[in-house]
Amino acid sequence: MADPMRIRAQLKDGGITEVRVLMAHIMETGQRKDSAGNVIPAHHIQTVTATWNGKTVLSAQFGPAVSQNPVMNFSFKGGAKGDKVVVSWTDTKGDKRSDEAVIA
């Protein structure tokens, strides 16, 4: 399983919650070759979902063009200090990761 995501969620003026996520993942494109000339199989995040209080606030699809250890920023209206934001991803090998942060 991949390393934990680093998630920071902050409540800003106007009731907007800003979230910043660092996902630890190799994000292999499937187009590179190893030293023996063999193609390295694709292994990258495909779907990302973020929820707040059980409500989906972000749904995204990634492809092979996303860099290693991707950083993602998003915001949503709502949230209160102490609420939890949960971010989950699934990759091309079926591996999954889910982590949460408390809104500050």
37 three-class SS: coil
pLDDT of amino acid 1: 58
Torsion over CA: 93, 61, 98, 21 (sign): positive
pLDDT of amino acid 77: 96
Torsion of CA 91, 97, 98, 100, to 10 degrees: -110
Domain boundaries along the sequence of the chain:
6-29+41-102
Listed as ranges, residues in the chain with pLDDT below 70 are 1
The number of beta carbons lying within 10 Å of the beta carbon of residue 88 is: 15
- In CATH, what number does 6-29+41-102 get? 2.60.40.10
